[in-house]
Amino acid sequence: MGSTDRPRAGARATEAPTARLLARPARRVRLRQAVGAITPALPGMFAWGVVTGVAMVQGGLSVAQAIGMTFLVLSGTTQLAALPLLAAGVSLPLVALTAILTGLRFPVYSAALSSDLKHLRPRWRWLAGFLMTDPGSAVYLARRARERPFVNRLAFYAGATYVVWPCWLGGSLLGILLAAWLPPSPRLGYLGVLAMLALVAPMIRGAPAWGASLAAGVLALIGARWPWKLGLIAAVVAGVTVALVIEHWQRRRAAPRQS
C-alpha cells in the first residue's frame, strides 16, 4: 500500500487497515474506481453463477448441498469439475485433488499480491484470499502494473474483489432455485460454456494468457474422453505451466534492457 495507507507505529500498527478502509476521501475514490472497473465483468459472473447453480442441482446434489458448496467454494470451475466426480462416486481424495488442480491459478495470484497484503492481520489475509476472484485479481494486477506509485491499494483491491462475491452468490442461488423447475437436460451445459467464454475472453491479454489458453485448450480437447476428468486436470497443469514459463522468459528478456 502507499505511504498514506501505512499503519502508525506501536499498538495501532497491528490494527486491521480494513477497519479504516473508507476513513479518507482518497480511499473512497479508489474504491469507486475499482467498482467501476469490475462492473463490466459482473453480468458474466452472475450468469456463470446461475449456470453453476443449475448444474449442481441437476448433477445430483440436493438443494442444501448445492447451497453449501456455493458458500464454501467461490469457484465455478472447481465446482463443475468436482460435480461429475461426486456424482460418479469417485473417492474423495481424487475429488480433492481435482479441486486443488483446478484452483492452481489462485496460489499464483496470491504470490503476486503477497507484498501488497502481507501487513494485514491473519484473519483479513484469509478473507482476502477466500474472496479472491479471477476478474478481481486481473483488474487489480493490471492497474498495479501500469500505475506507479500505486497508492491506496487495499481500497482498490476491496472494490475490485469483494463486490464479485454477492454477485456470484445471487446468481448461484438463483440457479439453484431455477433448477427445481427446469427439466433435466445435458444441453444446459452449453450455457456454462457460453457464460465462461463471455467472462474469460476479455481477460486474455498478453503472451502468458494466450499461451496458457492455447495449451489448456489443446490438452482439454485431447483429454476430453480420459477417465476421471484427467483431461481437465492436464489442461489446468499445462495452462499454468506455460504461463509461468512465458512470464519467466519475458522477465529474462527484459532484465538486460533495465540494467
Q: Give the chain as a 3 state SS string.
A: CCHHHCCCCHHHHHCCHHHHCCCCHHHHHHHHHHHHHHHHHHHHHHHHHHHHHHHHHHCCCCHHHHHHHHHHCCCHHHHHHHHHHHHCCCCHHHHHHHHHHHCCHHHHHHHHHHHHHCCCCHHHHHHHHHCCCHHHHHHHHHHHHHCCCCCCHHHHHHHHHCCHHHHHHHHHHHHHHHHCCCCCCHHHHHHHHHHHHHHHHHHCCCHHHHHHHHHHHHHHHHCCCCHHHHHHHHHHHHHHHHHHHHHHHHHHHHHHHHC
- 109 with 77, same domain: the answer is yes
The pLDDT mean for the chain works out to: 75
- 10 with 80, same domain: the answer is yes
Q: Is the pLDDT of residue 149 over 70?
A: yes
Is residue 54 within 8 A of residue 190, CB to CB? The reply is no
Q: What share of the chain in percent tops pLDDT 70? A: 75
Write out the residue range of the structural domain in which residue 114 sits. Answer: 3-195
Is residue 78 within 8 A of residue 102, CB to CB? The reply is yes
- 157 with 227, same domain: the answer is no
Q: Is the pLDDT of residue 195 over 70?
A: no
Whole-number Å distance between alpha carbons of 259 and 257 = 6
pLDDT for res 74: 77
Q: Is the pLDDT of residue 201 over 80?
A: no
Average pLDDT value for residue range 152-170: 86
User: Please, what is the angle between helix 153-161 and helix 25-38, to 10°?
Assistant: 30
pLDDT for res 9: 42
Q: How many domains does the chain have?
A: 2
- 257 with 164, same domain: the answer is no
- The per-residue pLDDT for range 41-93, each reduced to its tens digit, is 888 888 888 888 887 887 777 888 888 888 888 777 778 777 767 766 777 78
Is residue 49 within 8 A of residue 177, CB to CB? The reply is no
- 83 with 119, same domain: the answer is yes
- 111 with 236, same domain: the answer is no
Q: Chain centroid to CA 147: how far?
A: 22
Q: Is the pLDDT of residue 142 over 50?
A: yes
- 189 with 209, same domain: the answer is no
- 177 with 236, same domain: the answer is no
Q: Is the pLDDT of residue 170 over 70?
A: yes
User: Which of 195, 213, 229 represents a domain boundary (last residue)?
Assistant: 195
- 133 with 238, same domain: the answer is no
- The per-residue pLDDT for range 226-243, each reduced to its tens digit, is 776 677 667 777 877 887
pLDDT for res 114: 81
- 107 with 217, same domain: the answer is no
- 32 with 143, same domain: the answer is yes
User: Which of 178, 195, 212 represents a domain boundary (last residue)?
Assistant: 195
- 122 with 239, same domain: the answer is no
User: Which of 177, 195, 213 represents a domain boundary (last residue)?
Assistant: 195
Q: Which of 28-37, 63-72, 106-115 has the lowest mean pLDDT?
A: 106-115
